[in-house]
Structure 1
């Protein structure tokens, strides 16, 4: 586990840290208090990743709008 604050992590760093948390929790060999702390960290990492994805999606939508292309999501059937 890194000491880097979650707010300073890139999406990739946060995902890797979240995968590490999930692995530790799935093993089930950590004490209850540590499990709670890991779960809390995992929730924060998940929220950070979701926020990073939201920001990226907004940037893509802005680019699409600037190009005069339709914005929003498109049904997969048309691809």
Structure 2
């Protein structure tokens, strides 16, 4: 019986145990990155149980996916701002005000 109490305590102390992706979609890039760094440090420490390590790994995967989504979105925004839409080209305005393809 005490072992179940210990397990319940460990599970409640670990945020990723229930649903590894809980709340990840609402995180900013910086929040997801910082939490991912913390998760990696905990995994590298080797101090967690196997069950907790698996939960942390799953949380880390969800966080890494969220970071990649942010980076992909930023890349798309930069490409759009640079005029690299569907054609992939870029028009540069010269000193005389005329445009030319870069």
TM bracket (short chain): 0.7 to 0.9
- Residue in structure 1 matching 2:46, options 24, 28, 33: 28
| TM-score (normalizing by structure 1) | 0.79
Quote the residue 1:76 is aligned against: none
Pairs aligned (count):
69
Structure 1 segment 1-79 matched on structure 2, within 5 A: 5-65=23-83, 68=91
3-state DSSP class of the match of 2:69?
helix
As a proportion of its length, which structure holds more helix?
1
Higher strand share: 2
How large is the Cα RMSD of the aligned pairs?
2.3
Higher RCO, 1 vs 2 (CA within 8 Å, ≥6 residues apart): 1
Per-residue Cα deviation, 1:25-60 (whole angstroms, up to 9, x for no partner): 000000100000000000010010001000000000
Instruction: In structure 1, list runs of 5 or more residues that go unmatched.
Output: 70-79
Moved over 3 A (4+): 1-4
